[in-house]
Structure 1
Amino acid sequence: MKKPLIVVVVALAVSFAVWAGVTYPRIGGDVLHLASSIETRIYGLHRAEVEISDSLMMSWQGGPQDAKETVVMIHGYSSEKTVWMRFASHFTENYRVLILDLPGHGETIFDPALKYDTVSQAQRVVEAMDVLGIQRAHIVGNSMGGFIAGQLALLYADRVQSAVLIDAAGVVAPQKSDMAKMLAAGRNPFEIHSREEFIDFYAMTMAQPPWLPRMILDYMAEDYMVRRESLTRIFEDFHNTDFLDQRLTEIHVPILVLWGERDRLLHISSATVWQNGIANAELITYPALGHMPMLEAPRQSAEDVLAFLAKHR
């Protein structure tokens, strides 16, 4: 979050919490949600429900409704739509923007009866596009969202104008990341049992994280602990989906691969797998960034994506 805005919101929220007797770290969640709500309005985004066949998906939407082109942004595993808001602010002048909370993430509830593999999630994205009357879109996905973007490019090519894969899961990395080594040793860093575990995990997610006050980090730690069981189930479904290595040559939509070279969750060596496997795929890497370039450097990554989209209108 931007420090000046967060500082003001923290002061207001703490004053209210003292008066109302709100418990800590719930205050951190209230601060985060309030600050996000203010920022999204500043950036021209509004909250909206999208009802599909098996879920009521929450979203942020913005930009001209009659824009000729749409950009759909898909977050990663355990994440939510908030990670896109500053990045998205660079698109709302000229593009219609749709940012979804996938089932089991953010404000879209977890339903144990659903499947959470990337093919099922890709189908839900298409359903959401249908509900909103979006025939084709540029798809931008990070991590698991990048895997879903790859599935869309493969299985729904007629609905995908282009796809941007940001530190995308979905292929076998030639070199093991820190997370891959932990998983091989039987420890999933996303399964959080304490604040200390969360702080170690949070350090893995970004090389240059935006500033956040301690109360928000404590809230996020508690949220991961509360959601541990559902996140474990989602991870199993998503991680057991067949990877796309053997099908990359079947992808023919324009592809841009973005990667933070300091990514500790998905090794930078994955980027060349995507680039070499998909004809004419473009690759941009960021030496100083980690797993979430759109959050660590929203302006720089947005400018690179906008330049790519301009070539594929």
Structure 2
Amino acid sequence: MMKKLVLLVVILLCIFTATTVMTYPRVGQWLFETVASLESSIYGLSTQQQDVGDVSMSYYRGGKQGAPVIVMIHGYTSDRTVWARFAKYFTDDYDVIIPDLAGHGETPYDPSLSYTQQAQAERIAALLDRLGIEKVHLIGNSMGGYISAYFAIAYPERTLSAAMVDPAGVISPTPSEMDKLLAKGENAFEISSFEDFKNFYPMTMAQPPFLPKIVLDAKAEEYMQRRERYARIGNDIHTEPRLTDRLHKLQAPSLLIWGDQDRLIDVSAVAVWTREVPAMKVEVMKGYGHMPMVEAPAESASIYREFLGEL
């Protein structure tokens, strides 16, 4: 199936570039979007739009209508596409929803809006209201993990379970590589050049899936174009108090997954989460970094399915 997909994309790319004048990064972006669209459709996910009050939210939805709902939440500067290969393991038995958070992916950015964890959690609640969904399982990565825990604490009556994958929200006892850079006044997320992105991308994953250079350069270009946007969103994120003092209020069944090679948020943060939520189930994945659901979708999905099966 994947060979056929690649062949189809190559044919489409040849046709497209033969009839369209495009810059080099734009070709890479078109290629990424085309593959992501084809791949998500193969997995039974379709892109939909929903007004949630202050923004029109783009999201994937697929799976079994009427089944328990899983909401998958991406991290800071990411988007819904990072969950597709993980999500395919759940569409036979669950109704899967994967939003682009406000200011990310295809959901618009408006500088007049708030991008705190509270604001993003409220938008997810509004999305569920519009879709007529009362209760959900949540799983989020990085900032999305923070939002999953935040939602579970703020909306306990709507939370069936909360899973956090290398989540933000607490201070790790051992500073990560990212923490050390921030202490020197350097933010790896603030991309001003292709060289900046070249240094940043390996920090996000220990075993990233293959992407052609043309796609990586397109992603670098996107980060550069959105630099001010991401800086504003990042500032809003950091105005929110850390979760540490509220974690004990997390009462829903919970799962913590962490890649032991995470360079953005050190794995030592696991001790903080488990101290505050002793009943939390924990899985540390050896050899993986900050995004194990991308690096090892089958293995991480197996961990999550086992957790859901025990509820």
Range of TM-score over shorter length: over 0.9
1:46 offset after TM fit, Å?
0.5
Q: In the alignment, residue 124 of structure 1 is paired with which amino acid?
A: R
Which residue of the partner structure matches residue 217 of structure 2? 218
Structure 2 counterpart SS, 1:78: coil
Q: What is the CA–CA distance in structure 2 between the aligned matches of 1:27 and 1:205, rounded to whole Å?
A: 24
The answer to whether the Cα contact below 8 Å between 1:3 and 1:211 also exists between their aligned partners in 2 is no
Superposed, which structure 2 residues align to 1:47-58 within 5 Å? 47-58=47-58
Deviations, residues 184-238 of structure 1 (Å, cap 9, x unaligned): 1111100001111101100100000000001100100000000000000000001
Indicate the residue corresponding to 2:27 in structure 1. Answer: 27
Relative to 1, partners in 2 of residues 1:23 and 1:3: Cα closer, same or farther, differing over 3 Å?
Answer: farther
Q: 1:245/1:4 Cα in 2 relative to 1: closer, same or farther (>3 Å)?
A: farther
Q: CA deviation at 1:6?
A: 4.2
Match of residue 12 from structure 1: 12
**Structure 1 residue 77: deviation in Å?**
0.2
SS at match of 2:96: strand
1:48: how far off? 0.3
1-side partners of 2:80 and 2:147: how far apart? 15
The 5-angstrom pairing of residues 232-251 of structure 1 reads 232-251=231-250
2:113 corresponds in structure 1 to 114
Give the superposition deviation at 1:122.
0.6
Task: Give CA-to-partner distance per residue, 1:40-97, whole Å, 9 cap, x none.
Answer: 1110100100211101000000011111x10000000000000000000000000000
Give the TM-score of the pair, scaled to structure 1.
Answer: 0.96
- Aligned identity (percent) is 45
CA distance in structure 1 between the partners assigned to 2:238 and 2:171 by the alignment: 12
In structure 2, what is the Cα distance between the partners aligned to 1:250 and 1:20? 55
Instruction: Tell me whether 1:206 sits opposite 2:212 in the alignment.
Output: no
Q: Residue 35 of structure 1 aligns to which amino acid in structure 2?
A: V
- Measure, in 1, the Cα distance between the counterparts of 2:132 and 2:205: 35
Q: Could you tell me whether the CA contact under 8 Å between 1:195 and 1:218 is conserved in 2?
A: yes
1:29 maps to amino acid: Q
Of 82-91 and 276-285, deviating more is 276-285
- Work out the CA distance in 1 between the residues paired with 2:64 and 2:43: 13
Deviates more, 1:267-276 or 1:203-212: 267-276
What is the letter of the counterpart of residue 45 of structure 1? L
Q: Deviations over 1:104-127 (max 9, x none)?
A: 000001100110110111111111
Alignment of 1:73-88 (within 5 A): 73-88=72-87
Q: Distance in 2 between matches of 1:20 and 1:292?
A: 35
| Other structure's SS at 2:220 match | helix
Query: Using a 3 Å threshold, how does the CA distance of structure 1 residues 4 and 269 change in structure 2: closer, same or farther?
Result: farther
CA deviations on 1:101-149 (whole Å, 9 max, x unpaired) are: 0000000011001101101111111111111111110000000000000
Please tell me the residue identity of whatever aligns with 1:48.
Q
Q: Deviations over 1:215-264 (max 9, x none)?
A: 10010000000000000000000122101111111111111000000000
Task: State the 1:16 CA deviation.
Answer: 2.2
Tell me by how many angstroms 1:19 deviates.
Answer: 3.3
Counterpart mapping for 1:278-289 below 5 A:
278-289=277-288
Letter in 2 for 1:149: S
TM-aligned CA distance change 1:200 to 1:276, over 3 Å = same
CA distance in 1 between partners of 2:131 and 2:190 (Å):
35
1:178 aligns with 177
> What secondary structure sits across from 1:139 in the alignment?
strand
**Cα displacement (A) at 1:304:** 0.5
Residue identity in the other structure for 1:75: H
Q: Does residue 1:43 correspond to 2:43, yes or no?
A: yes
Pick closer, same or farther for the CA change 1:4–1:219 going to 2, 3 Å. farther
TM-score, normalising length: structure 2: 0.97
**Equivalent position amino acid for 2:108 in 1:** I
Unaligned runs of 5+ in 2: none
1:147 aligns with 2:146: yes
Contact 1:166 1:257 in 2 (8 A): yes
What's the CA shift for 1:310?
Answer: 1.2
Using a 3 Å threshold, how does the CA distance of structure 1 residues 218 and 11 change in structure 2: closer, same or farther?
Answer: farther
1:132-143 matched pairs, under 5 angstroms: 132-143=131-142
The secondary structure found in structure 1 opposite 2:108 is coil
Counterpart residue identity of residue 247, structure 1:
R
Distance 1:207 1:229 in 2: 27
Equivalent residue number for residue 294 of structure 1: 293
Q: Report if aligned partners of 1:14, 1:27 keep a CA contact under 8 Å in 2.
A: no
1:21 offset after TM fit, Å?
2.0
